[in-house]
Chain A
Amino acid sequence: MNALAVIGPALHRLAGELPSTAPQGRNIVAAQIAIGSLFSLHILIAGLVSGAAELGPAIEFLGYMRQRRNYDRLAHGLGRFITLYFSVSSTIAILLVTVLLVGYWGHFWTTIVTIGWWPLFIEAWTFVLQVTLAYIWYYTWDPLRGFKGVHMAIGGLLAIASFLQVYMIDVIASYMLTPTNPQNPIRLVLNPTSYPLTVHRTVGNLAYVGFVIGAFCAIRFLRAKKPEDKVFYDWAGSFGVLWGISLTLLQPVVGYSYAKEIQLHAYGSWYKMMYGTLSPLFLWQITLLGIMFLTATLYFARRLRTNGARGAGLLKAMAVGLVLTILLAAQPYHLGLTYDAVAGAGLNRPFWEGGLINPLGSMIPWKVLALMFYTLIAIAAVVWYLRGLPGVVWGAARRGEQRLLMLLAVLTIFMMVTMGFIRENSRAPFLITGEMTIQGQQNIEPTPTPQSGP
């Protein structure tokens, strides 16, 4: 049988069925799912790469200052991670831009590139700079061992390039939420949420990489056979979680300030997050933050207890304090599923008078107080753990502690995905607040096919 006799008609039939142009947002749900999930994946990897490119040089510097080889090994490991995963993150980004954004939301992509041309131009070049410096930094580790100052300077430049790259993307992301009149790049860069988003994301990426270091080292610790590897991974896991939790402690203030700017400049989005359809997710986010602090405190307590170091008992008491604070923070304000149900039950009437209001669930003052207690207890936990560290024998950790480290990384990923989901959906149905909707992407008609001659 002639294979071409089968394939030829099949190809003709397929050609007749396939659309002649890109999807152009006709399937809104599919586009949102595809772009949303791939963006989440991209941010999870890119955040890690950026965080590692900023934290790695800092760890190398610390190791040089303290004359500790462990730091150097950890920084070198981060360098290796960047060289391995940079291309994965980039591939996803390129796929997102060239296939999904152009294909599904072509109108939006053309508009945002036109408006944000300068930040995207700088972003592209910092991308080149970042990858160049990352490879130089990693591959000159041994050749430049005698010139540590030069090597650390390369690392410093890498950190700056990574920060700038994230900053430029933040300009675009923040513009989409709080657009200004885009007359020039400065107006674009100085949109109201650009600053808080950049601080929030930079601190977040640095914390995130700390937690992932913790989880990675926990896995390696459990698999390690050599005693020196066990010592290193035990120490590095502890270092990672300390770093992660210390930076996460700044996030309540930075996040609160970011939310305040959204309230002032994109009230609809803020309302949706605090009182609207996204408020249950916001409640989950505050609860999740408390669970992260609790998990870290439990790790600190268990790690000290394993070696009988001082402070484990007090850390357990702090964990109890955190549980109580989480219970306060997790209280919903509305006990009904819909606003209509709450209004029908007397609106502001508390639940003990037959209403559907739980006063303990109000943002002000209770959730703000809960956030403050989270922060204060977690700062105390970090200090107490550090005080007890001289009594810790590295390499002697148990499985329980390592599981907590892995859990922390999982919780962090949940947190990042939740935050991203809230921020992006708070704009809905807009892609650029007040300017362009997701539905608007359907209005673009494909260019007419040229007709054959008369």
Chain B
Amino acid sequence: MGRIAAVYDWLDERAAIRSLVRKGLYEAVPVRGAWFYTLGSATLVLILLQLVTGIFLTLVYVPSVTEGWASLNYLKQHDAFGSIVRGIHLWSAYILLFVIGLHMVRTFFSGSYKRPRELNWVTGVGLFILVLVMAITGAFLPWDQAAYWTAVVVTNVPSYTPFIGSFIRALWRGGDFVGPITLTRTFGIHVWLVPAILFPLILAHLALLRKHGEFGSYINYRGAYRRREGVDVPPAPAQRPIEPPYPAVPTDELWAAPLETEDFFPFQTFKDGLVSVVLVIVVFLLAVAIGAPLEPIADPSTTSYTPVPEWFFLPLDELLLLVPQQLIPLVLVLPAGGVLLLLALPFIDRGPERNPFERPAVMVPGAFAVLFVVILTLLGSGRLFNL
């Protein structure tokens, strides 16, 4: 123990790790509803799992139309460990999309994006979009039938952009048609371009979270008690002990500091750790039990293959089916408009109110948007199982 303490002291003298650990582990977080706050850390763990398994896969995968499918087929046929790693990569991506979506919905409904946490929301939206891009570009890489036809549909979507649509499509495809250059470029986007933006953005997101503290939910604050029948408003934060990083200023004093806090370690870390471990176990079990499918190699000349979109692509796929040809730019305009609105949200909804029931002007359109996506997904998935 003495030697370990000596090494720790040596490191602390040079890298100030004691204060870093203290800063990292002993900050206050709201108590009530803490299980909901585990979604952020679960997202981070799943992204790291993506990174680790992705690195392993690049050791085997060859980004070419002639070798790409063969390299993954080799894993499937001859390398049980590699096959599981690919399964983990796929299933953690699926669960990541679900968890990050839930994290965003929770943040939206709790009003956590409000002053002074606007930039945290903006970086979060950026992360959500980048994870989606990772998922979509990753779906091209196996270069099996599903990947090829996904590439055909997805690379065509940007062509609905006014004026420069054809240029963007040609840029991505590397020509008029999906082919070898499309795969090479998409591989570059998937393993270099997007991660190069994603990881700095994660750091920025975490730094901002640490600066302002976890907002939690309206139930943690005095503001929640204002309109309750027969319930007194608790004392002002000034009369209660406030621990860093609260109060998050400048903000409305009703929403500046939670009424009850606890240390991040061990209380919140236990919950975060438990949720993350459960998710990783679920991912592993799915990877072993189901694995990652690999269809026959891409064959652009086939007429018998019926493409089935990835589940996260279902809302867009349903839109593509429903929107008439004359109004097809809507397929691009609606999601793009949705992203712009998400980015602008903290600057549109600037009132201090956090209670979702008292913010109808934002909650109603938000709930419609969520319902719209859910219903499109349901309708799209219904068609997948038609017999």
Residues of A within 8 A of B (CB): 65-69, 180-181, 186-187, 190-192, 194-196, 199, 246, 249-250, 253-254, 256-257, 260-261, 265, 364-365, 368-369, 379, 382-383, 386-387, 389
The verdict on A387 contacting B361 (CB below 8 Å), with A186-B387, A190-B387, A364-B326 known, is yes
Q: Is A250 touching B387 in the complex (CB atoms < 8 A)?
A: no
Q: Identify which of B228, B231, B322, B378 contacts A195 (C-beta below 8 A).
A: B378
Bound-state Cα–Cα, A369 to B385, Å:
30
Q: Is the CB of A368 within 8 A of B324?
A: yes
- The answer to whether B368 and A249 touch across the interface, beta carbons within 8 angstroms, is yes
Q: Are B386 and A253 in contact (CB under 8 A)?
A: no
Inter-chain CA distance A283–B361, complex, in Å, is 32
Chain B binding site: helix, strand, loop or mixed by DSSP? helix
> Considering the chains assembled together, what is the distance between the CA atoms of A67 and B228 in angstroms?
6
- Whether A250 pairs with B371 at a CB distance below 8 angstroms is yes
Do A66 and B372 have beta carbons less than 8 Å apart? no
CB-CB < 8 A to A368: which residues of B? 324, 327
CB-based contact B327/A383 at 8 Å: no
28 A-B pairs with C-beta separation under 8 A: A69-B229, A187-B387, A190-B386, A192-B383, A194-B382, A195-B378, A195-B382, A195-B383, A196-B379, A199-B375, A199-B379, A250-B371, A250-B372, A250-B375, A253-B322, A254-B375, A260-B321, A260-B322, A265-B386, A364-B324, A364-B327, A368-B327, A379-B364, A382-B364, A383-B360, A386-B360, A386-B361, A387-B360
Number of interface residues of B (CB under 8 A): 28
Query: Which residue, B324, B327, B372, B387, has most C-beta atoms of chain A within 10 A?
Result: B387
Knowing A195-B379, A364-B324, A364-B326 are in contact, say whether A67-B231 is a contact too (CB < 8 A).
Answer: yes
In the assembly, what is the distance between CA of A125 and CA of B368, in Å? Answer: 34
Could you tell me if B360 and A191 are in contact, using CB atoms closer than 8 angstroms? Answer: no
Q: Which residues of chain B have a CB within 8 Å of any CB of chain A?
A: 228-229, 231, 318, 321-322, 324-327, 357, 360-361, 364-365, 368, 371-372, 375-376, 378-379, 381-383, 385-387
Minimum C-beta distance from B217 to chain A (A): 12
CA–CA, A180 and B361, complex, Å: 45
**Chain B residues near A254 (CB-CB < 8 A):** 375, 379
- A365–B385 Cα distance when bound, in Å, is 30
Chain A residues lying within 8 Å of B360, measured Cβ to Cβ, are 383, 386-387, 389
Task: Kindly state the separation between the CA atoms of A364 and B326 in the bound complex, as whole angstroms.
Answer: 7
- Chain B min CB distance to A262 (Å): 13
Query: Smallest CB–CB gap between B383 and chain A, Å?
Result: 7
Q: How far is the CB of B331 from chain A (nearest CB, A)?
A: 13
- Given the interface pairs A260-B322, A364-B326, the reply to whether A253 lies near B376 with Cβ below 8 Å is yes
Q: Does A383 contact B365, Cβ atoms closer than 8 Å?
A: yes
Instruction: Report the separation of the CA atoms of residues A379 and B360 in the bound assembly, to the nearest whole angstrom.
Output: 11
B357, B364, B385 interface centre (most CB from chain A within 10 Å): B364
Apart from A261-B383, A386-B360, 16 more pairs, CB < 8 Å: A67-B228, A67-B231, A190-B386, A195-B379, A195-B381, A195-B382, A199-B375, A199-B378, A199-B379, A256-B322, A260-B322, A265-B386, A365-B324, A368-B324, A383-B364, A387-B360
Q: Whole-angstrom distance between the alpha carbons of A364 and B322 in the complex?
A: 11
A386 touches B364 (CB 8 A): yes
A199 to B380 Cα, complex, angstroms: 12
* Cβ B229 vs Cβ A68 within 8 A: yes
Cross-interface CB contact of A196 among B231, B368, B382, B385, cutoff 8 Å:
B382
Cα–Cα, bound, A199→B318 (Å): 15
User: Which residue of B has the minimal Cβ distance to A198?
Assistant: B382
Nearest-CB residue, chain A, relative to B386: A192
Q: With the chains together, A379 CA to B386 CA distance in Å?
A: 33
Chain A residues with CB under 8 Å of B318's CB are 257
Shortest CB distance A300–B (Å): 12
- Residues in B whose Cβ lies below 8 Å from that of A383: 360-361, 364-365
Contacts of B381 in A (CB 8 A): 195
CB distance A66 to B357 under 8 Å? Answer: yes
Q: How far is B363's CA from A386's CA once the two chains are assembled, in angstroms?
A: 10
Asked if B364 and A257 make an inter-chain contact with CB atoms under 8 angstroms apart, the answer reads no
Residues of chain A contacted by B325 (CB below 8 angstroms): 364
Residues of chain A within 8 A (CB-CB) of B379 are 195-196, 199, 254, 257
- A66-B372 Cα distance, complex, nearest whole Å: 25
Shortest Cβ distance from residue A74 to the other chain B in the assembled complex, whole angstroms: 15
In the complex, which residues of chain B have a beta carbon less than 8 angstroms from the beta carbon of A66?
357
The reply to whether A379 and B375 form a contact with Cβ atoms under 8 Å apart is no
Please pick, from B322, B327, B368, B385, the residue contacting A257 in the complex, using a CB distance under 8 A: B322
**Can you name the residue of chain B whose Cβ is closest to the Cβ of A249?**
B368
Report yes or no: B387 in contact with A379, Cβ–Cβ below 8 A.
no
Question: Given the complex of chains A and B, what is the CA–CA distance between A265 and B383 in angstroms?
Answer: 11
**What's the nearest-Cβ distance from chain B to residue A69, in Å?**
7
User: Which residues of the other chain, A, contact B368 by a CB distance below 8 angstroms?
Assistant: 246, 249-250, 379
Asked if A191 contacts B387 (CB within 8 A), the reply is: yes
> Contacts of A190 on B, CB cut-off 8 Å?
385-387
A67 and B229: CB pair below 8 A? Answer: yes
- Measured CB to CB, the nearest residue on chain A to B231 is A67
Instruction: A379 to B385: give the CA distance in the assembly, Å.
Output: 32
Residues of chain A with a CB closer than 8 A to B376's CB? 253
Cα A66 to Cα B228 in complex, Å, equals: 7
A74 to B322 alpha-carbon distance, docked (Å): 38
B375 touches A365 (CB 8 A): no
Q: How far is the CA of A181 from the CA of B376 in the complex (A)?
A: 27
